[in-house]
Amino acid sequence: MLLAHKVELRPTAAQAGYLARACGSRRHCYNQLLDHFQRPGVKWSKAAGYQHFIAVVRPAFPWYNEVSSRVTRNAIDDLDNAFKHFWLRVKANKPANPKAKTFRERFGFPTFKKKGKGESFALRESTKFDVDGRALRLERLPGRVDMRQPLRFTGKTRQVTISQQAGKFYASVLVETDDYNPHAPAGEAVGVDFGVKSLAVLSDGRVFPANQKLKANLKRLKRRQRRLSRKRKGSNRSAKARRSLAKLHRRIADQRRAVLHEVSDHLTRHYRVVCIEDLNVKGMAKNHRLARAVNDAGFGTLRQFIEYKAELRGGTVVVIDRFAPSSKMCCRCGQIHDMPLSARTMACDCGNAMDRDHNAAVNILNFGLDTLTPDLKRAQESGKTTVRRGADVDGAKMPALPDSHRSARLA
């Protein structure tokens, strides 16, 4: 299975120079080829592109040799792809921009790459690069580039794409991996409450706190946005503020993503059945107090991460109806309580006193197992213990549910 992991790079000044030059060479070469092949009567094919590259383009620009030879050569593949997609759209009569005036614009004819806009280059030959822990080697690059994290997957690296965004460099590494052993998660079932105060609380009591650095950065973002709005448009100061804002946006996106990966990794690695609530993000965002927390945590993305990782690892995700009273019901006796957001503890007549989110997580687990039970029964009758997506939940413990719990749910 091929999986990509995108990691921020921490190049030295000299290394950053190389990466920027490589991006520039690739863009330049792509544009040189396009300039030739966009002329009327000149027909693109990969072979013709290669010919032109060897005979005309490469000899004319000896500075291409300052970086790996593959950087510019792979621009041929990129342009080939762009042409292929253009012709596919033409054949299917599916214009990319139906309102554009010219035929080429309508069907998205390849366009020149602009400096500073989505700059990247790729090395697709495994001899031209390799990853060792947190060090990335690229052909002709002095030393090894420091990566912010090691790769999430083990296996053979197939391709690396270096991109430059808001002044930072990223490496997206494609790995052929067999990490995802279908029966890897050893634990049983878990319920997860995506909290307002914490990012997530598990039914076994584990808490993923809200990321404080992320919080601080969000505050900083607000401040900087205000500052930018006070600056005169088009001024040097406003341009500077805009750049720093873009950087901060990028940083926040990275932090958020890292947190979501951490939570989804933990859940799918350790539990066979993950029960989560169907958070209708739009519906929740209407509630002002919840809105910030929802947007900050990126629940939609988190759910996507959990679902695809569970599928890869052979786990099962059970999504609970969002109207189930997970935070209002006592998880021990099933009694329903009025629980405003300010009430942090579920204190019930039955003697149960629990953190609000932890109580909700236990309920979510119980609801989830309830949903799974019919499937399990059927599977057991036919002598198998497989449910949905072929996941093996043989080891999943089914806690005995009090009767009142069921009736409370129906009520």
- Residues near Zn ion, by CB under 5 A: 330, 332-333, 335, 348, 350, 352
Q: Are 307 and 318 in contact (CB under 8 A)?
A: no
Label residue 72 exposed, middle or buried (CB < 10 Å: 0-12, 13-18, 19+): buried
Q: Which is closer to Zn ion, CB of 381 or CB of 403?
A: 403
DSSP state of 330: -
Contacts (Cβ under 8 Å, ≥6 apart) of 81: none
* Residue 312 three-state SS: helix
Copy the structure tokens of residue 332.
């021990």
* Per-residue exposure over 307-337, b if at least 16 CB sit within 10 Å of its own CB, e if not: bebbbbbbbbbbbbeeebbbbbbbbbebbee
Q: Which is closer to Zn ion, CB of 163 or CB of 363?
A: 363
Question: Closest separation between CB of residue 358 and Zn ion, Å?
Answer: 14
Q: Are 104 and 39 in contact (CB under 8 A)?
A: no
Q: Which is closer to Zn ion, CB of 161 or CB of 352?
A: 352
Question: Closest separation between CB of residue 333 and Zn ion, Å?
Answer: 3
Question: Closest separation between CB of residue 16 and Zn ion, Å?
Answer: 60
Question: Closest separation between CB of residue 164 and Zn ion, Å?
Answer: 56
* Residue 230 three-state SS: helix
Question: Closest separation between CB of residue 348 and Zn ion, Å?
Answer: 3
Q: Which is closer to Zn ion, CB of 20 or CB of 333?
A: 333
Q: Which is closer to Zn ion, CB of 42 or CB of 350?
A: 350
Question: Closest separation between CB of residue 370 and Zn ion, Å?
Answer: 18
User: Half-sphere exposure of residue 152, counting CA atoms within 13 Å on the CB side?
Assistant: 19
Cα end-to-end distance, the chain, whole Å: 46
Q: Which is closer to Zn ion, CB of 395 or CB of 402?
A: 402
